[in-house]
Every structure is written in structure tokens, then in C-alpha cells.
Amino acid sequence: MERAVPLAVPLGQAEVFQALQRLHMTIFSQSVSPCGKFLAAGNNYGQIAVFSLSAALSSEAKEESKKPVVTFQAHDGPVYSMVSTDRHLLSAGDGEVKAWLWVEMLKKGCKELWCHQPPYRTSLEVPEINALLLIPKENSLLLAGGDCQLHVMDLETGTFTRALRGHTDYIHCLALRERSPEVLSGGEDGAVRLWDLRNSKEVQTIEVYKHEECSRPHNGRWIGCLATDSDWMVCGGGPALTLWHLRSSTPTTIFPMRAPQKHVTFYQDLILSAGQGCCVNQWQLSGELKAQVPGSSPGLLSLSLNQQPTAPECKVLTAAGNSCRVDVFTNLGYRAFSLSF
């Protein structure tokens, strides 16, 4: 008598839906908690997941340690950007920015502390907010995105105090010059604009695509990432990833990377970048590619360096993008493991 072959138990509709969600997930944003022991990640479904870095990095870590401590619905649309203050996580979606208390987020049923919408030209306009930037000396928050403006919000009162206008297409990225009250913005119009926050004036414009050595017309003119360090700026996107001397508006190093880059940051004597492709790229300031470290996502949209002095055991680099995973690099040489939604 033949033994009956057990049939596979069909997945329930909820399980199928979750599997499809994970398959098509994109993680747009990340932010480390003030204590340095937790990482928040925001995805294209409007969800925020909070991971315990300390548990995942523990010598006793299990697979369950790499799953979220909590996941909650934060926005109706994608979570494009996040930043952390000393108490709050701020998240941005389509036309709104919300605040969440870090201590409350680790509990089930977390509720937003507040939700604010920048003043848009019409009530029908709901542009995405692509970038958030804290201005600690002013206790203010800078928001930028689809309406081509930089909005300044007072964090104490929640009021929008002014708008900086100059971009002619939507804005992708922001960076702060910490030694001076100046902010840089990069956008779809191909320009990096430098703003003086004391008088809300645009004081410098670098149209990167107009420089022949940077231009790559087949990729477009858009600026997708930028970072600053004193008088230096690095930016990329459609044009080549390039190191600039800001005072002279001069490109000093063109990095030999064909794929458009979506995130860039200065780290010690290196520049780290990521974009199309699975690798985190490590560059010498001279333009030499020191290393390419592969991750698990086919494309990367954000890098996060956890350098909180309160949690030196959690000092890691995390990278996320076109998958449901956040890659964790305990040193810059290799991917140690991945956290997963």
C-alpha cells in the first residue's frame, strides 16, 4: 500500500500578502535612537520598524534578535525621511511630518505626538517630503521635497517660520555646514544651492551638470545626494560623484563611479557612497576606490553611521534600499548580518 504524500499546507491570504509586501519593499530612511541602541527604518508602505541593535549585536543573538521589536503604521504613503532629536523620532511622508517619542515607540500601540503640514500653495497639493535636517542652534527643522522649497519649522511651537525659494524642480537632499549657519540643498534641477539661515538668502549656486568633467547627460542632471565637511562638499546623482571646494566653487576630485549615487557621507578620511548596485563604496579623497563591500539589496538608498558615544558597542554602519533588509557592517570591511522587516 502506497503511503499518502502529505499536501503542502496552503498559505493564508494574510501570509501571502505579507510575503508579497516584503518582496516589493523599499526602505527609504533610517535613524538611530538617542541612546544609540535602536535603529528605526521606514519603508514604502508607510511603516516604521524599530530594531534593537544591542540585541542583534549581542554574542547571544538569535535570528529573532534581527527582527523588529515593534512595527507600526506611521504614514499612509512612504516614509521618505527620518531624523532623531534627543527625545523624538521625526518622520516625513507625503506632505506631513510627524513626531514620535522614542520611549513610547518600543511599546505596542504607539501614537504620534504631533503632525504638521508645511503651508503649500493649494489644498490639493500634497508633495512628498524627501529630506529632513535638524538645525540644533535654532532648535528648528528644515523640510524639503516636491514643492521645490525649503521650509523652516520651529520645533518648540510647530510653526513654519519661513520658506527658502530658488529651486525650480523638486529637492532630493539637504546638508548642514556645522561651523556656519548655512545649509546646502540639491535637487532635480541639477543645482546645489547654499543658503544663509541668518537672512534666508541663497548665497551660492553650483550647477554641477554644466561642468564638463562632471556632466553625464545620459543619466540626467539631478542631484540625489550631498554631504559637507567644513569648506568641502561631495555630491552626486545624474552627474558624477564629485568632491568640491565650496569657497572657490571648484570640482577637485571626480570619483570613477558609473552608477548614479543616492547617498554619500564623509567618514574619517574617507567618503562612503551607495546607489545603484549592492555595494557600499569607500573612496579616498584623492578619488581612489579603496573598497566595495557588497550587501544584500540590489540597490541602496540610505546609509546610517551610528556614532553615539553612549553606546560604543553598537557603533555600526547600516545600509538599506530596494529590499526588506537592513545590512549591518560592524566594520567597513564586510557585512556582518542583516536586520529584516
Tracing cell 501614537 back to the chain, one arrives at 111
DSSP 218: G
Output the pLDDT for position 181.
85
**What pLDDT sits at residue 18?**
84
Of 340, 341, 319, residue with least CA distance to 330: 319
pLDDT at residue 2 is higher than 50: no
Please tell me the predicted confidence (pLDDT) of residue 120.
84
CA–CA gap between residue 171 and residue 183 (Å, rounded): 13
Confidence band for 108, pLDDT divided at 50, 70 and 90: confident
> What is the predicted pLDDT for the residue at 12?
77
In this predicted structure, the answer to whether residue 39 has a pLDDT above a threshold of 90 is yes
CA–CA gap between residue 76 and residue 120 (Å, rounded): 19
Is residue 125 predicted with pLDDT exceeding 80? no
The residue type at 242: T
For range 45-50, the mean pLDDT: 97
What pLDDT score was predicted for residue 10?
Answer: 56
Minimum mean pLDDT range among 22-26, 106-110, 256-260:
106-110
pLDDT at 244 over 50: yes
Q: What tens digit of pLDDT does each residue of 4-37 get?
A: 444 444 567 888 888 888 899 999 999 999 999 9
Q: Global pTM?
A: 0.92
pLDDT value at residue 20: 87
> What DSSP assignment string belongs to 135-153?
EGGGTEEEEEETTSEEEEE
Least confident residue range of 26-30, 107-111, 280-284, 301-305? 107-111
Q: Is 230 exposed, middle or buried (0-12, 13-18, 19+ CB in 10 A)?
A: exposed
Mean pLDDT of 170-186: 93
At 97 the pLDDT is 98
What average pLDDT score do residues 302-307 get?
Answer: 96
Query: Nearest to residue 275, comparing CAs of 178, 190, 173?
Result: 173
